[in-house]
Chains A and B, each alone.
Chain A
Amino acid sequence: DIQMTQFPSSLSASVGDRVTMTCRASQDIRDELGWFQQIPGKAPKRLVYSASTLQSGVPSRFSGSGSGTEFTLTISSLQPEDFATYYCLQHNSVPYTVGQGTKLEMK
């Protein structure tokens, strides 16, 4: 199975900050990775697919990068609605696996 190591597990930041979170795959997954945002009590929402393509309707302050084994999600200028938990998810091979999550909290 492909292991997805996501870090940091939590991140404290302020509105306007630039933040970055990382996912590392245990083997090459090409660009077959998505980033998801989950607000408590809600279903996850896809932000990025194919590692770096922004989902339609997602603000341009979000960006994804990487390929192979190292991936990042960056929020260029945090807004109040961005405080949530973020997950990376690989679909290169079965079983699909998910990072442990990064909880973004307001400082």
Chain B
Amino acid sequence: EVQLVESGGGLVQPGRSLRLSCAASGFPFEDYYMSWFRQAPGKGLEWVGFIRSNAYGETTEFAASVKGRFIISRDDSKSILYLQMNSLKTEDTAIYYCVRDSKDTSIIPRPFDYWGQGTLVSVSS
């Protein structure tokens, strides 16, 4: 059974940093791209960024709203995905979801089939 379990959320002051983790199980984590999404209170979904698999250099892509402030990394030996959030702003307040993206060798991508339960990040002074 595929499981994605986020942790690390909490209350943080503007300008500070926070690191989220996502523990994955039930599938070959190292073979998949992984994404982060977020949802501000009462708002819609927003894609934050993704990381490619090791076979594709673990390169990353980000939404403009977080580019240069957020970093995504992965530890395939532990099947853990990370989101390092720096220079946090009040508008980063949201539930953050870890999401399985596409298998790296997929000719036809079929991403976002599994989502974690989310972890709440509140940025406030």
Contacts and interface: CB of A to CB of B under 8 A. Distances in A.
A50 B108 contact: yes
Interface of A: 1, 32, 34, 36, 38, 43-46, 49-50, 55, 87, 89, 91, 94-101
Nearest to B6: A43
Given A43-B97, A44-B45, A91 B61 contact: no
A95 B61 contact: yes
Interface of B: 35, 37, 44-47, 50, 61-64, 97, 102, 108-113, 115-118
Nearest to B109: A91
Contacts of B63: 95
A18 B112 CA distance: 26
Contact of B111 (A34, A43, A100, A101): A34
